[in-house]
Amino acid sequence: MNCEIKTIILGGSSGNSYLIKSHLGFVLIDTGEKSKRKKLDKELEKAGCNSENFHLVILTHGDNDHSGNCAYLKEKYGVKVAMHVRDERMMRYGKAIKYKRKSKRFVKYLFPLFIKINQFKPDFNIDEGFNLSCYGINARVIHLPGHSRGSIGVLTDNGDLFCGDLFTNIQKPEINKIMENDLDANASIDKLKNYLIDKIYPGHGTPFFISKLFV
């Protein structure tokens, strides 16, 4: 089954979105932050998404710069949202701003005063081995904790890895410097050595070939 990948670089502090089109319809990986809603909307409409063919949103993790448009997309398209259970609490209780160990302390306390979180209830949870074949996509979920406890990746049979915030490519391809747990992150990176990966689609920055990661 051949699929098309549309990379949606939303820019600024927002995470990327990746739209995968199969013969059965569309699956979106991450939704970006609320401030980028118009741009995301335009790209989805241009691709041909509607309430009949837009089937699923997968969140690689619960941070607001990746989940900020979930409630809106659920209302507009009736699309289902799936994520790992270990990040679900952020969505249910409006705690989608996830502060990592290396964040500046003043940011931790000031940001919640200025950013309104759109709470929503994910439709179901996904974990290691979840298969996307029912959506016409030859891919599976890999649990990749580190950036958050519930971080996941999506790996296609063609070697495309949608890695969330495990890796970035802002100035160069590299391991994300902002982690909740460095030990978990290192374990996740070691885990990826067991898979055949060709191209990485990061949460921030442009996609890159894995051969560029440690150059």
Mean pLDDT of 141-162: 97
In this predicted structure, which of 41-45, 75-79, 98-102, 141-145 has the lowest mean pLDDT? 98-102
Q: Is the pLDDT of residue 57 over 70?
A: yes
The residues near 123 (Cβ < 8 Å, ≥ 6 apart) are 80, 81, 82
pLDDT of residue 146: 96
Contact at 8 Å (CB) between 100 and 147?
yes
Closest by alpha carbon to 204, among 153, 144, 145, 163? 163
pLDDT of residue 215: 53
pLDDT of residue 118: 65
Q: Work out the mean pLDDT of the chain and round it to a whole number.
A: 89
pLDDT of residue 106: 41
Residue pLDDT, tens place only, 188-208: 999 999 999 999 999 999 999
Instruction: Record the tokens describing residue 175, joined without a space.
Output: 């391991």
The pTM is what? Answer: 0.91
As a whole number of angstroms, the distance between CA 215 and CA 212 comes to 5
Mean pLDDT of 152-163: 98
Instruction: Using DSSP bridges, classify how beta strands 17-22 and 4-8 pair: parallel, antiparallel or unpaired.
Output: antiparallel
Contact at 8 Å (CB) between 30 and 22?
no
As a whole number of angstroms, the distance between CA 118 and CA 114 comes to 13
Q: Domains along the chain?
A: 4-212 (3.60.15.10)
